Structures are given as C-alpha cells and as structure tokens.
Amino acid sequence: MRSTGFRRTFAALGVCSLALTASACGSSDDDSSSGKTRITVNCEPPKSAKVDRGFFEQDVAAFEKKNPDIDVVAHDAFPCQDPKTFDAKLAGGQMEDVFYTYFTDAKHVVDINQAADLTPYIKQLKSYDTIQQQLRDIYTVDGKIYGVPRTGYSMGLIYNRKLFQKAGLDPDKPPATWEEVRADAKKIAALGGGTVGYADYSAQNQGGWHFTAEMYSQGGDVVSADGKKASVDTPEGHAVLQNLHDMRWNDNSMGSKQLLVINDVQQMMGSGKLGMYLSAPDNIPILVKEKGGNYKDLALAPMPGGKGTLIGGDGYMFNKHDTPAQIRAGLKWLDSMFLTPGDGFLGDYARAKKNDAPVGLPEPRLFTGAADAKDQQIKKANANVPVENYQTFLDGNQQLQMKIEPPNAQQIYSVLDGTVSAVLTKKDANIDQLLKEASGKIDSILARG
C-alpha cells in the first residue's frame, strides 16, 4: 500500500503520488539544436495542482539556469506510477530517462534488466552520503546502486489527545505496547456516544497491509527472509489476530461496524469519534483539511510493540539506455530538486508555509547526521503545526527495525484481508485455522513468483 505523497499541498490533499505520462520518452543524449544534455523526468505535479506545479516549474527553471548545459523535460499525469502500465512502459522503451519508483519496485526493475547502474557516477550526487543508510540500501542490489531515495515514511499510531484526556489518560504518554493500546482503547470506548477506542482496516487489501505492519511491530514477518515461504502461521501472527479479536469481541472497543477502509477510519478520527489507529504522519493534514479534525487534538506515537514498523516511500531510477552524460545530469537534478535541506521542491519549508501547506510533520525524514539536523532546524523554524504532538514518534520510531512491504504485496494483502475480516466479523473465528489457510495461499503466490 502507499502512503500519501509530496510534502507540499499534496500532503494536505492526501494524494498518494504524482504521475507518469503515456508519451514516449526516448533517451537522446543531447539536443541537436543546442548541444545540451537532455533528460526526461516524471512525477511533475499535474496542472490541476496549480501551487505544486508552479513550485516544480520554478525549481526546474532555477536548476537549468545554474546548469545551462542541461535541458530538463518534465512529464506529468496522475499518479506518478501506474502499476498497470509500469512494466509495459519499461519493456517498451517508453520510460523517462529519470523515472519515479516506489521502494518495492527497486529489485524488480533491476531483475528485469531495465535500470542503469549508477555506481560509477554516484559521487556526482553530493547528497548521497547524507541519506539514511536503510533507505539507500533499498536501491542497492548485489552491491550496486540503482536508484536514489526521495521520500520515506514509517507507520505509527495516530491518536486523539482530547479523547485521551476525557478518558483519564495522559496524552503525553501514548501506549507503547499492544497491551497498553488495548487498555487505553477500552477506556476511550467507555466514554460512550459512539466513541470507538481503536479502529483497523479489513477490506480492499488494506486489512492485509495493516496486518503486515502489526506483524512487524511484534518482530514477525509475513514471508520468510528468502521470500519463498509464508511466515504468518507463527506466534507473532497469532498474537496480532488474538489482540484484534479480544478488542473487538471481549472489550467492544473497536465498534460494531467493520470491513473498514482508510476513508472510513479517517472520517471517524476527523469527527472526534476515534481514539487511535495506525498510520503514517501524512494522514494528519488529511484529517484536518478534509475530515474536520484539528491539529492541536491530533498526535502521533511510535508503532506499538517496540520491535519494528513498516516503511514505504519512493525514489528515482535511471533508464538502462541513459548515456553517462544523462546519468550525471539526472543526479545533479535530483540533488537540486529533492535532496538539499531547506531548498528545492521538498525542502523549501518557508515557501510551503507561505502557501499554507503543513510544515513540521515528523516525516518524510530522509537525511542523517548534519544534513538531518539542518533539515529539522529549518523545518522547526517554519512550523505551522504543533510539532510537540509528534515528538514521541520522532524520538521512538527511529529506534525500530524498518521493513518494507513483502514481495507480491497486493496479492498477499488480498489473502490477509480475509483473515483479518473474519476475526473482526465472526466472534467464533478459528485463528489457528485462518492462519494455516492464509499460509498455504501465500505459499502458492510466492511459488508463482
């Protein structure tokens, strides 16, 4: 599954990501009329997103002014990557010279031999060593570098501070374990009036997505380390489902309405009727801008369990047909556009604040060391949201094991949707049998590749 996209207005609007066009994008090393190195790039905000598109165009123009020997041709549409056409574009030679990918795409693109090896040129990217190692590793395959991270997110626990106070809970001490989540959810649900303590997804593959995140939080996984076998029929998998079952049926803290998806849960939280749910930080502006929530009431805690969390994000890879000149130009463009703290499309917090985009959310958090300190300092100086509400997340999530989605994620999530929905809709659901059946189905998916 995807978290929402850019730090700018798109974060506020809840857009998952931006876009590719279907137009052909040949890899021509230079413009015959000017002698410039020409690169095509994608994920330009669409015309409907006027503010973001304006920022993007300004930043491309500024880059070209500083680098008069490079011509950047940007392509837009929605979304940035369409899974239905992604492989076809790669195989058909239609992909841009520098193209957007989700973290989960990296190994696949390398496996089908459609990515340029950036290793000989990576020193051209001034910011590369400042990017978090765990994010760089996502685009490193067999010791070679094939891509550059651009954003990243990790799952945490969004909670309503006002409901915590009403329930006699300390809003500055959110639950750190699943036992504490259960106890707090029960107290919040006891407030009555349709208040729900904890909500979870269980439809449209989103239940499987959250089951995976909850497995990570317990120290488990949904597939084996080699990606060949299911690993859901385990003590960790049982603990996830038992906890959901007990909150739903024993405590009545999850409400009677189930088969929920993200929009349902966001609506509940925005209306002040939900205590907690799992999400990434980019949900917060959606809750405020679209669902009626208030920034001061919304807080974020680390993923309960203390052992791990699911991460996602995106980056750019390079067409295997790119010339050395195009690779060097593309790396320069990425540095300027996305990877400079305090500047560029993702880093100009002052510009974002002037345009009423949320500034001060704890993620994306791409950098490490001095670059991270600078990025956080500039962000804090321009913050227009209550950053203190996210401090526990900022401090705690960085200490967890970060794990990306499993291979064949959507097919696996579809299987696990049925597992989670059964537990939440059938009081007598047999957890052991459900996990055994899910394991067999996931094994079949992985065997097909």
The angle formed by the CA atoms of residues 207, 268 and 289, to the nearest 5 degrees, is: 105
| Fold (CATH) for 156-279+408-448 | D-Maltodextrin-Binding Protein; domain 2 (3.40.190)
Residue pLDDT, tens place only, 379-402: 999 999 999 999 999 989 888 999
- Any alpha helices (H) in 339-386, and if so which ranges? 344-347, 349-354, 369-381
Residue-level pLDDT at 84? 84
As annotated, the residues of the chain forming the CATH 3.40.190.10 domain(s) are 9-153+311-388, 156-279+408-448
Q: Which residues contact 269 (CB under 8 A, 6 or more apart)?
A: 158, 160, 199, 277, 287, 291, 293, 298
What DSSP designation does 120 have? G
Residue-level pLDDT at 241? 98
Residue-level pLDDT at 31? 53
Residue pLDDT, tens place only, 119-151: 999 999 999 999 999 999 999 999 999 999 999
Residue pLDDT, tens place only, 241-300: 999 999 999 999 999 999 999 999 999 999 999 999 999 999 999 999 999 999 999 999
CB contact at 8 A, 276 and 255? no
Residue-level pLDDT at 130? 97
Residue-level pLDDT at 397? 87
The angle formed by the CA atoms of residues 9, 135 and 263, to the nearest 5 degrees, is: 40
Residue pLDDT, tens place only, 188-217: 999 999 999 999 999 999 999 999 999 999
Q: Is 309 helix (H, G, I), strand (E, B) or coil?
A: strand
CA atoms within 13 A on the CB side of 208: 25
Residue-level pLDDT at 14? 35
**Rounded mean pLDDT of 339-347?**
95
Residue-level pLDDT at 29? 53
Q: Is the dihedral of CA 128, 134, 136, 141 positive or negative?
A: positive
CB contact at 8 A, 242 and 215? no
pLDDT at 4 exceeding the cut of 70: no
Pick from 381, 366, 1, 430: nearest CA to 213: 1
Pick from 86, 153, 142: nearest CA to 117: 142
Q: Please, what is the average pLDDT of the chain?
A: 92
* pTM beyond 0.75: yes
Strands 196-198 and 156-160: unpaired
Residue-level pLDDT at 32? 47
**Rounded mean pLDDT of 426-442?**
98
Residue-level pLDDT at 16? 35
- The fraction of the chain above a pLDDT of 70, given in percent, is 92
What is the band of 30 on the pLDDT scale with cuts at 50, 70, 90? low
Q: Which residues contact 409 (CB under 8 A, 6 or more apart)?
A: 1, 104, 209, 212
pLDDT at 35 exceeding the cut of 90: no
3-state secondary structure 387-448: HHHHHHHHHHHHHCEEECCCCCHHHHHHHHHHHHHHHHHCCCCCHHHHHHHHHHHHHHHHHH
Q: Provide the CA 241 distance to its chain's centre, in angstroms.
A: 24
Residue-level pLDDT at 15? 34
CATH 3.40.190.10 fits 9-153+311-388, yes or no: yes
What is the band of 449 on the pLDDT scale with cuts at 50, 70, 90? confident
Residue-level pLDDT at 34? 66
What are the phi and psi torsion angles at 154 (to 5°)? -135, 150
Beta bridge partners of 100: 316
Q: Which helix (H) or strand (E) holds 119?
A: none
